[in-house]
Structure 1
Amino acid sequence: MSTHNIVFLKDTWWSLERCSPEGTILEELLADGVEHVPGLVWHGVIPSTLPDQDPCVLTDDDFEIQVTMYCDYVQEPWAYSMRGNSLLTGRRSHYRLVVDTVGYPLESFSGTAELLHATYNVFHALRQAFTKSSRLHRDVSLANIILVREGDAAVRRGVLIDWDASAPVNETGRSVVLGVAGTYPFISLAMIQSSNDRAQTLLDDIESLIYVVIYCAYLWLPHDRNKEDLEYCVYQMFDARFPPSEYRLIHGRGKAINLEDQRYTSDFHWPQLFRDWLSTVLNYRAPPFPLIAEFEGKWEDPEHLDEIALRTTILVLAQRNLYRSHIKAPLLPAIALVYTPRPPQSPGQLLD
């Protein structure tokens, strides 16, 4: 039946070794009242054939699902191998997920206000999933956050998608699934440099979110650094390999150095409120020696992160409203725009 509603269909091959498909996870999150996650319409495995009748009705007797067959032939001499070793792969089922939350990629954000507002929404999704559903997302990345327009709201809200890599937590608040999961440039420093016996925590997800914000600020917020400086900082923070032979440390060195002295972020003249927020949360994560007493324990308590994120977001939104009310521009941060990777999306729009 046609409803004339726009939905998003995700077509994938779900590993049968996983505890729950993504649709079941979304059902649990929504039932527990977790906000800023996609609304579920339907999900299920795809049958190999459909009954020749109208309407099509499936029963348990004739519901044979589509599954991959590679694992049945992995030992055959013609099967692909890596360095002479057979690839270990489990059986996967053809699976589809339909959600009624459709949005835009995070990189389409209009400015500082929308970036902070959307990622603050995602911060709440992470906290609520942890406190209400005892679950970690484990793959907070640029591609897994979308912007959703609601009514005539001035800024779009952030929605955290792709929960198929998520995992429940145990009584200590750690993931019951061990090892690294996620998108490597955004994985927390502790996880990227850990062995496969470490379990992720809520703070790992929050740290990943901070790296997403930094990445967005590098590429899509105005600043006064030239293109060569920008490329160097992006490389050091997200792509540098050191030492080259150790794959586990590909994305760790620049993050570790920046946590020590913020050398890859402190010299970017982003809007002042954004700079203050970023410097503070990085000091929470790794307090410099003179500030250890002031910031001790604040990273471990998400309430402190919530407070500064909320305060900064409100100030930036208020500042933007003042500008649109034709208050004089000096109320905005004075920035020498030497390098602006992306122009405003429409004439007269402020990319702050």
Structure 2
Amino acid sequence: MEGLFVEVPRKKFKEYFSGGSEPPKMKKFEFNVNLDSEEKMYFGVSKSLQDSLPDQEEFVVKDTGRWKDMADGSTHAKAKNDKKPDLGIYPRHEAALKAVKIEKPLTEDQKHKLGKRVDFIGRVSWAWLSLSLEVKNRTETAPFSCDGGTYWLPDNDEARKSRGQLADYAKEVLARQHRQFFFMIVVIRDHARILRWDRAGAAVSRSFNYVQYPRKLGGFIYRYAKMTPVQRGFDPTATLATKEEIAILKAYISSLKDRDVSDYLRKCMNSIIDEDGKDDEDGKGKKAKDKKAKDDENDATSYEWPIYKIELDASKFVSVKRGESERENSDKAGEDDAAANIDPKPQAKRYLLVGRAMSTSLSPTGRGTKGFAAYDMTAKTHVFLKDTWRPDSARIRPEGEIYKKLAQCEVAEIATLLYCGDVGGEKPQKTCAQRPLEKEDTKVKVLARIHYRLVFEEIARPLGKYKNSLEMALAIYAALTAHRDAWEKAGILHRDISDGNIMICDDAKDEHGRRTTMAFLNDWDLAKYEHELTKAPTQKTRSGTWQFISGLLLQFPQKQHEVSDDLESFIHVINWLSFWYHKNNYSGKPEALGNTLSAIYDESSPSPDGCDTGGITKTVYLQSGRPPLKLDMDTASQGHSRLLRSLATLAKEHYESASVSQWELESYGCRGGAGNEEESTMETTIKVESKHAFHRFIPKPVDTNQEDDDMPATPPAPITREGVLSSHSAILAAFEDALSKKWKPVDKTKNLVMTYTNSGTHILRTRTGSGKRSAESSPSGGIEGDKRPSKKRWSGKRSKRAQAASEQSDESDLSAVPEEEDD
């Protein structure tokens, strides 16, 4: 994390903020602050900051250290963030003032305890926070030193925790607002530092005494208030929607009630204007009243997530049709446009309306991907917007280029890309925090980031929202088919297989134009071409989602990423979901389940050369030839049980035959759960011809006179010296074999898992989402948190090292993010 904070000399720091007129010479700045305690500092700092603002009073200072934001997070991350910046500067805007207002009147006792602070108290509003301030009274708990010495980053747990706290604030602001960068002030007794956050890191000013030299801090606040929104870091291509535009959006969402679309799509579109994304069928209760009030106001700012209009430069964006390399000025292109209700002479600009994000990143740095259900005002339909910050490197291809190549090669089972491009066109929005980091003598190379957007046709649910094990298996089978075609037809390897990157779309169209369900593999931003895989990685950490990375890649970070690594990841996906959502030998044993998940999927330790390694326990299970769990015989589907055993057999055969001596793989003892017997089920399937892999196996009535097939689950593919997972034939055959068996229509549950808070307190929880990147990143709705190089999701009790790391921030992951460049 320390590698992402860089101290900038005072004269150089002015390069990181421009605009805003200098305060008049007659403007007086003074900071009278009581340094006896942190809470006693709040009033003096608040009043002095308010007095430092220009007379126009466009901003207001709020003391928010006690009252958290009441707005929900993204639709796939329901929990509210309970972090509370000590102070914040907010626009004196009616909606912002309403958001920070504490509705419940204070008692006389509360007023007495708050004293003079009463005039400034307010509630945190991440959607409206313009600039945040953190106040520290004790230097030993401060994130930075204030003595101006060489060691400006204190090396102790409290300091690291404080830096994680700052990162969490930045994460929330960048997730909730459409920002290029964000300013922050840290006050440490009578000293202060100014921070500028963007997706490459945080540039930090030198410490200065704001009491002795009040014009330094007061002058910055004055200039900040005089800056334009763009100079304060706001994205000029995102503006608050007008009442008329909101009315159009609401009319479209209302029309979906009478159209043949899925309930999930209705919920996603409704989430743009409704904080919980749920319809109130009976129209009763507080939510109905709140919704009616919003309908009456018809104002973009009346929502916890304000509604914005996103401007796309249509002349720079490329529309991609499956099987076609480019849109051509032909009669056929005109016919396609007419069929799609698109103006054959598109305007220079195209606009989307968005509100509450479906997913946001869990980190302030890196790709910072956000996913939105959106309304396309030009095509007059729903689309999915992926907003991200791609690495600025010639070695890393923009994700849209990968999608275009896949479409040219007629790869099916992928999302339909409509538009892609850098925000800002020829002069794209770009980070600048990497510039001082490049000059530092650090081991971390941080790439610049370019703001990048993609628009997709489908709004899909993440794999974790599957209805039963059959749908799960069909979705993974479809993703495997896409993975095979991408490799064999286009020479592209995905390199980030996870549960968050497999999607199920209930609003696809078949060849007759009827609504159907299909699944696809998405999130191709880490994909590489075959010839690029031979380049040795120059960095030591792995790309991808830690839980699903192959055992060999985790143990040997310098190993080349191969097809077999991705195929092994598919095995981990189905095992992972089986642990969480199906009754097994760990069900009802939350502590044992938590410890097992942590041991297999979260194992991590530093090696002597400084990189994280893991995967030893994962490899033990893979070598055993047995699934890591035993499904309950009374509730499991025959096909599900068979599939787990077949995949375990494949993994064992691969590890026995693959040439891994160069990686010095040690032999470990085998252990794991035994396979379980199948029992009679309610449904079986038959294989049929279909364009989409998801539809190649359909349920049929059970023949009650037919005996269950108890033959050993042995995949039909032969073992090769390259390893049975070096090609797709064996694993696809294993899925086809299992899919031909019997499956129960109802076999999904939620297992309780024991996890631990940062303080060591254990809690019980179920898994409610993919939990992957924040939100970073699925193009069509299932995005988790973007924690790169590898995203670690601690499931059980953590090691001391992991515990200390997580205490830096409950959710922030400040790992350096250059892995796509080097790996």
Question: Does residue 258 of the first structure (1) align with residue 614 of the second (2)?
Answer: no
Mapping of residues 1-352 of structure 1, within 5 Å: 1-17=377-393, 18-47=395-424, 63-74=426-437, 85=442, 87-149=444-506, 150=508, 156-170=517-531, 175-179=533-537, 180-196=542-558, 198-225=559-586, 226=588, 227-241=590-604, 248-250=612-614, 252-261=615-624, 265-269=628-632, 270-287=636-653, 296-297=719-720, 298-316=724-742, 319-320=743-744
Question: What is the letter of the counterpart of residue 734 of structure 2?
Answer: I
Q: 1:295 to 1:275 in 2, by over 3 A?
A: farther
Give the drift of 1:85. Answer: 2.9
SS in 2 for 1:237: helix
Q: Is the 8 A contact 1:224 1:339 kept in 2?
A: no
Letter in 2 for 1:279: R
Closer/same/farther in 2, CA of residues 14 and 154 from structure 1, 3 Å limit: closer
Deviation at 1:117, TM superposition (A): 0.2
Residues 18-53 of structure 1, C-alpha deviations (whole Å, 9 max, x = no match) = 4321111101101101111111111111118xxxxx
TM value normalised by structure 2: 0.34
Query: Structure 2: how far apart are the matches of 1:154 and 1:240?
Result: 43
Shift in Å, 1:233: 2.1
Tell me by how many angstroms 1:126 deviates: 0.8
Distance 1:104 1:140, change over 3 A: same
Q: How far 1:151 moved relative to its partner?
A: 5.8
SS of structure 1 residue aligned to 2:382: coil
Alpha-carbon distance, 1:122 to partner: 0.6
CA separation of 1:144/1:16 partners in 2, compared to 1, >3 Å: closer, same or farther? same
Distance 1:244 1:16 in 2: 30
Q: In structure 1, what residue type is equivalent to 2:741?
A: L
Identify, as 1 or 2, the structure richer in helix: 1
1:167-222 deviation digits (Å, cap 9, x = unpaired): 0003xxx72454432111110112111132x2211111111111111111110123
How much has 1:230 moved relative to structure 2? 2.0
Structure-1 separation of matches of 2:557 and 2:750: 42
Number of residue pairs aligned between Structure 1 and Structure 2: 303
Q: How has the CA–CA distance of structure 1 residues 314 and 157 changed in structure 2, closer, same or farther, with 3 Å as cutoff?
A: farther
Q: What letter matches 2:545 in structure 1?
A: T
What amino acid is the match of 1:186?
A: F
Moved more, 223-232 or 8-17: 223-232
Alignment correspondent of 1:348: none
The CA deviation at 1:67 is: 1.4
Contact 1:74-1:86 at 8 Å conserved across structures: no
Evaluate the alpha carbon distance shift between residue 75 and residue 249 of structure 1 in structure 2; reply closer, same or farther with a 3 A threshold.
closer
8 Å contact from structure 1 (residues 257, 263) kept in 2: no
Task: Quote the Cα distance in structure 2 between the aligned partners of 1:13 and 1:242.
Answer: 29
Q: Runs of 4+ in structure 1 displaced over 6 angstroms?
A: 152-155, 243-246, 340-343
Question: C-alpha distance in 2, partners of 1:205/1:169?
Answer: 13
Distance 2:750 2:520 in 1: 32
Q: Which deviations, in whole Å up to 9, do the C-alpha atoms of 1:119-173 show, x marking residues without a partner?
A: 0001011111000000100011122111111369999432111111000003xxx
**Separation in 1 of the partners of 2:438 and 2:611?**
28
The worse-fitting range, judged by mean Cα deviation, of 258-267 and 148-157 is 148-157
Q: Which amino acid aligns with 2:463?
A: L
Q: Deviations over 1:97-118 (max 9, x none)?
A: 1111210111111111011000
- The SS at the match of 2:544 is coil
1:308 alignment partner AA? A
Aligned partners of 2:563 and 2:727 also within 8 Å? no
- Judged with a 3 Å threshold, the aligned counterparts in structure 2 of structure 1 residues 228 and 340 are, in CA distance, closer, same or farther, namely closer
User: How far 1:75 sits from its partner (Å)?
Assistant: 5.9
Structure 2 SS opposite 1:140: coil
Deviation at 1:263, TM superposition (A): 6.3
User: Residue deviations 1:224-260, cap 9 Å, x none?
Assistant: 433233223212210133689875333x022111123
1:299 to 1:42, Cα distance in 2 relative to 1, 3 A: closer
Q: For residue 124 of structure 1, what is the amino acid of its counterpart? A: T
- Root-mean-square deviation (CA, aligned residues, Å) is 3.4
Instruction: State the AA in 1 paired with 2:487.
Output: F
Deviation at 1:276, TM superposition (A): 1.8
Residue type at the aligned position of 1:311: D
Structure 1 contact 284–296 (Cα < 8 Å) conserved? no
Tell me the alpha carbon deviations over residues 56-84 of structure 1, each in whole angstroms, 9 at most, x when there is no partner: xxxxxxx32211112333367xxxx7xx7
Distance 1:95 1:72 in 2: 20
1:301: how far off?
Answer: 4.1
Who is 1:327 aligned against?
Answer: none
Kept in 2, the 8 Å contact 1:105–1:145? The answer is yes
Distance change >3 Å, CA 47–CA 339, structure 1 → 2 = closer
Tell me if the contact between 2:625 and 2:650 (Cα under 8 Å) persists in the aligned partners. Answer: no
* Aligned mates of 1:313, 1:177 — CA distance in 2: 38
Q: 1:256-291, CA deviations, whole angstroms, 9 ceiling, x for partnerless residues? A: 1112325662433343321221112221121399x9
Match for 1:22: what amino acid? E
Structure 2: how far apart are the matches of 1:66 and 1:154?
39
CA–CA distance in structure 2, aligned partners of residues 191 and 75 of structure 1:
28
Three-state SS of the structure 1 residue aligned to 2:556 is coil
User: What does the per-residue CA deviation read over 1:299-344, in whole Å, with 9 as the maximum and x for residues that have no partner?
Assistant: 344212212211212334xx45xx7xxxxxxxx99x9x9968879x
2:628 aligned partner, one-letter code: T
SS of residue paired to 2:451? strand
| Percent identity for Structure 1 against Structure 2 | 23
Q: Compared with structure 1, are the counterparts of its residues 44 and 243 closer, same or farther at alpha carbon in structure 2 (3 Å cutoff)? A: closer
**Following the alignment from structure 1 to structure 2, what is the Cα–Cα distance between the partners of residues 216 and 144?**
14
State the alpha-carbon separation in 1 of the partners of residues 752 and 637 from structure 2: 13
* SS class of match (2:612): helix
Q: Would the alpha carbon gap of residues 182 and 151 (structure 1) be closer, same or farther in structure 2, given more than 3 Å must change?
A: same
Give me the whole-angstrom Cα distance separating, in 2, the residues matched to 1:266 and 1:11.
Answer: 38
Contact 1:233 1:264 (C-alpha < 8 Å) held by counterparts: no
Segment drifting more, 186-195 vs 265-274: 265-274
| C-alpha distance in structure 2 between counterparts of 1:86 and 1:29, whole Å | 36
State whether residues 551 and 618 of structure 2, in contact with CA within 8 Å, keep that contact through their aligned partners in structure 1: yes
- Alpha-carbon separation, structure 2, partners of 1:154 and 1:213: 27
Aligned AA (1:184): W
Q: Are the equivalent residues in 2 in contact too, given 1:241–1:247 (CA < 8 A)? A: no
TM superposition shift of 1:87: 4.5
